[in-house]
Amino acid sequence: MQKLLSSLVVFLACTASVNAALPPLAQSIAELKALLINEELTSSLGMAESILSIEKTDSGYLVTTRSKELAVDVIYLPAQNIGPLKFDLKFQPVQTAEH
């Protein structure tokens, strides 16, 4: 019985850490969705701009249009419990695009 309980505790500990975050693709999709629906994106770039690319950077994403570049930092919040990683987006000042 003791061995069974020990095995169960080890199993639960292993599965809890596996469920602590989304798989990398799912986490990236959640971040990109949050970026694209954020009103600060449209207010920073303007409605007349078309997005040419969104590149992953060390600190977040770089959104590029024909004339502008916008760096957006992803700030991960401390995990309170098991589940997807919570995050905030920090929009940097718009720069002129260098093509």
Asked if residues 77 and 87 have their Cβ atoms less than 8 Å apart, the reply is: yes
End-to-end CA, the chain: 68
Output the pLDDT for position 79.
84
Let me know if residue 87 belongs to a domain: yes
| Structural domains counted in the chain | 1
Q: Residue 36 is part of which domain span? A: 25-96
The whole-angstrom separation of Cα 2 and Cα 84 is: 34
3-class secondary structure, 21: coil
Let me know if residue 73 belongs to a domain: yes
Let me know if residue 2 belongs to a domain: no
Q: Which residue has the higher pLDDT, 93 or 81?
A: 93
3-class secondary structure, 2: helix
Let me know if residue 11 belongs to a domain: no
Q: How many CB atoms lie within 10 A of CB 31?
A: 20
Let me know if residue 64 belongs to a domain: yes
> Does 17 score more than 60 pLDDT?
no
What pTM, to 2 d.p., does this model score? Answer: 0.75
Let me know if residue 57 belongs to a domain: yes
Let me know if residue 8 belongs to a domain: no
Residues 35-86 have pLDDT tens digits of 999 999 999 999 999 999 999 999 999 999 999 999 999 999 998 887 789 9
The whole-angstrom separation of Cα 71 and Cα 61 is: 6
Let me know if residue 55 belongs to a domain: yes
